[in-house]
Structure 1
Amino acid sequence: MKLLGSVQSIHHFIILHGLVVLLFAYQYKAQSPGASSSSASSLNALLQDYAYRALVRPHTGVIYPGNVPSNLTGIGIAAVRLRSGSLRRKGIIFNEFEIPTGLIVQPYVRRLVLVYHNLGNWSSFYYPLPGYTYLTPVLGLLAYDATNLSATNLPELSMVVSESFISINFTNATHVLSGTDARCVWFDVNGSPDFQQLVSINTCSTYRLGHFSIVVNSSEIAPSPVPSLPPGPVPSPGGSKSSNSKAWKIAGGVVGGLVALAALTLIVYYIRQRKNKKVAQLEQHADAGVSLQTARVGNTQIPVASGTRTLPVLENELVA
């Protein structure tokens, strides 16, 4: 019974260990950056932080390119600080974005920072679009308060167009658009797409900030994105060599742990088997009893106690 209880306890421990491993793997997968609104929002917050780092004693209206972490190589960012009143009166051309006059910032801030994103080869990773192929990288333009250039996790400001639309000129898309039914796509804060017709062969228009690209139905073109930046190492947090290496390490650790646990179980089982076998042998000897010497008295064989080393001595012999 003890052996059976021990084996059952080990079996339960193995099941519990497997459940813990599965839970850990699920949490690891859930926490990995990927195509979701939470990962895109996290990316926006991270790029805002790194874009603000480029604004060291900035001059108003000057564009400052920023640097991204090494694990996001391939993404381009830039920032420009502006006065809200000046932006409303004059507008600005910021890389591919042309902001017209009359644009109003909500809520009102005296100074703001426009942060530019070019997601390059990461476009389909952070903004997946099943059934469509990206003809251009996803470009983003977001606005933040410029009161504190050391602040992080700032809320995004909204912009209201009062006169004409914001234009996005995808200059690198001209050579891939001919003969295709391409469309503009805008992604809201939840990552939901909104499709619109092109204004011209490579230009989209919008009345709001966010992320934009030009896409085409995958059946009309080979599914290969056309990044604006030269291809290079793009260690994706969810699908790169580094993440694959981590995944393999985790899988190896899990398999190794299970193998070690199985070996330990066999060892414990073997030791308990040997111990129980010895106990059974001792109990068998005890049940059989110890044979006594016998002697024949007449026609009867009767047990006789063995002789003792110390012979009995009469009491009077002990008297001196």
Structure 2
Amino acid sequence: MEHAHGFLPFIALLLIVPLVEVQAQSPSTSIGTARALDTLLQDYAYRAFDQPLTGVIYDGQVPSYLSGIKIAALRLRSGSMRRRGVESYKEFEIPMGVIERPYVKRLALVYQNLGNWSSLFYDLPGYSFLTPMLGLLAYDAMNISATNLPELYILAKGRPISIQFTDVGTVPIGSTAQCVSFDLNGLPRFEALMSRNVCLTNVQGHFSIVVKSGSGSHTPPAPVLAPMPIPRPGPTVKEESKVWGIAGPVIGGFAAFVFWGLILVFLVRYKRKKNMAQMEHESEHGVPLQVVNMGVVRLPAAAATRTGPELEHREVP
């Protein structure tokens, strides 16, 4: 069942991708495709970790069929993020007081810049993007080889997280730019800009600046999608624990069997060797036979018997 759940987002992705151009005209976002993309990008972002240092940003590489998307990963101690925050993580500024739920000892913040793929994965009817879609998602980072991890929920309890976009298109005359954020369920939320290129958020998600369509905005042309191959997810921590839960007793029982078998063989050989040594000792140090002289020859002779022979019938015929 665990493997089946791991494959579902990618199976959904394969079914949806060939129909992206049709769905671009649909009133809803391709949330199944976007969630599958998050799972895939988490895997590739974690591959950038090679004996990772805490607080260091590692840029990842996406597969060639997603050229144009940028990713990065930042590994932090939970307490460090809460006490000090992160002054600069790409376009994001994370203040003090940000917490995660459920609690983990170490977490990783995965950064996404979807570039000209933004409108394909986050369709917003009636609006055009002035910036690429940026993503900030948190995951457990105790096992950096893990895949298909669920997102953690992060919350800025004090100052909000700031997003300073660096590539903002021109706002058409008469139009008003807005911040838009998508939560993990694909629901959009609109907020006012703090300045020309700054948006604020208290939670994780995907963020961009948009204007209403029909104003001559410069939304970049969307790339042509090729079907995404299904990556083979590695075993989860839960699956590995199940395997070791079964293999552990079997290996332990076999080792105990071999150990006691060796002990038994050693005892048998020791007993046999001891008996042989005792027999040799008796043969070399036993009671010697008496020797008698017969002429010039000395011959061994048995000792006299204690009881002399008696006739069975005393009467002699």
Normalising by structure 2, report the TM-score: 0.61
**Does 2:149 match 1:160?**
no
Q: What letter matches 1:210 in structure 2?
A: G
Corresponding position of 1:62: 56
- The share of aligned pairs that are identical, in percent, is 54
Superposed CA RMSD in Å reads: 2.2
Does 1:42 find its partner at 2:36?
Answer: yes
User: What do the CA deviations read for 1:161-210 (whole angstroms, capped 9, x no partner)?
Assistant: 1111001001221x513743000000112222111110111100000000
Q: 1:219 Cα deviation (Å)?
A: 2.5
SS at match of 1:177: coil
CA distance in 1, matches of 2:17, 2:66: 17
Q: 1:28 to 1:186 in 2, by over 3 A?
A: closer
> Cα 1:157–1:29, aligned 2, differ >3 Å: closer, same or farther?
closer
Question: Tell me, what secondary structure is at the counterpart of 1:87?
Answer: helix
Q: Does 1:237 align with 2:255?
A: no
Q: Could you tell me which residue of structure 1 aligns to residue 47 of structure 2? A: 53
Q: For the residues of structure 1 that align with 2:19 and 2:148, how far apart are their CA atoms?
A: 17
The amino acid of 2:81's aligned partner reads L
Q: Which amino acid aligns with 1:164?
A: R
Q: CA deviation at 1:48?
A: 0.1
Distance (Å, rounded) in 1 between the aligned partners of 2:104 and 2:111: 19
CA spacing shift, 1:75–1:142, aligned 2, 3 Å: same
Q: Which residue of 2 aligns with 1:299?
A: none
Q: 2:102 is matched with which residue: 107, 117, 126?
A: 107
Residue equivalent to 1:74: 68
- 1:1-320 matches, within 5 Å, as 30=16, 32=18, 34=20, 35-92=29-86, 93-173=88-168, 176-177=170-171, 179=173, 180-222=175-217, 224-226=218-220, 234-237=223-226
Distance 1:187 1:43 in 2: 14
Cα 1:127/1:31, change in 2 over 3 Å: closer
Unaligned residue ranges in structure 2 (runs of 5+): 1-12, 21-28, 229-317
> What is the SS of the residue equivalent to 1:51?
helix
Following TM superposition, by how much is the alpha carbon of 1:29 offset from its aligned partner in structure 2, in angstroms? 5.3
Residues 122 and 30 of structure 1: is their aligned pair in 2 closer, same or farther, counting only changes over 3 Å?
closer
Consecutive unaligned residues of structure 1, counting only runs of 5 or more, are 1-26, 241-320
Distance across 2 between alignment mates of 1:234 and 1:68: 15
Q: Residue 37 of structure 1 aligns to which amino acid in structure 2?
A: I
Counterpart of 1:252 in structure 2 is: none
